Amino acid sequence: DAKTTQPTSMDCAEGRAANLPCNHSTISGNEYVYWYRQIHSQGPQYIIHGLKNNETNEMASLIITEDRKSSTLILPHATLRDTAVYYCIVRVEVRDMRFGAGTRLTVKP
C-alpha cells in the first residue's frame, strides 16, 4: 500500500517558489517525512526531512501539518536546474525507504 500521495506533475515559473504537496494520512508517530529528488536518470538526492516541526536548510523548507497527515516541500526560488522528480517518503528505518511515483516538477523560463 502506498504510504504517500503526490500529484503526478507540476509546473513552476523560474524564480518563483515551488510548493510540492504530499499526503501521508496513515503516518505513524515514529515515522519521519523525507524528501528526495531525481534529476533525469541520476541517483536520487536527499533534500530534507522532518518529524513534526518545520525544517529549513540551504535547499528547501519542509512544512508539516500539525496532525502530520500532510506536508509541503518548498523550493523558495526555483531554477531550471530544479526540474526533477520529487519523492516524498515516510519511514522509520532507512531499510524501509520505498519510493512512489513522485511529482515531476518542471521549472519553466
Partner 1 sequence: EAQVTQNPRYLITVTGKKLTVTCSQNMNHEYMSWYRQDPGLGLRQIYYSMNVEVTDKGDVPEGYKVSRKEKRNFPLILESPSPNQTSLYFCASSPRGTWTIETEAFFGQGTRLTVV
Give the interface with partner 1 as residue ranges (CB under 8 A). Answer: 30, 32, 34, 36, 41-46, 49, 92-95, 97-102
Minimum CB separation from partner 1 for residue 34, in Å?
7
- In the complex with partner 1, the residue whose CB is nearer, 25 or 28, is 28
List phi, psi (to 5°) of 94: -65, -30
- For residue 85, give the DSSP letter: E
- In the complex with partner 1, the residue whose CB is nearer, 1 or 93, is 93
Minimum CB separation from partner 1 for residue 49, in Å?
7
Distance, in Å, from the CA atom of 10 to the CA atom of 12, rounded to the nearest integer, reads: 7
The three three-digit cell numbers of residue 5, written as one number: 500521495
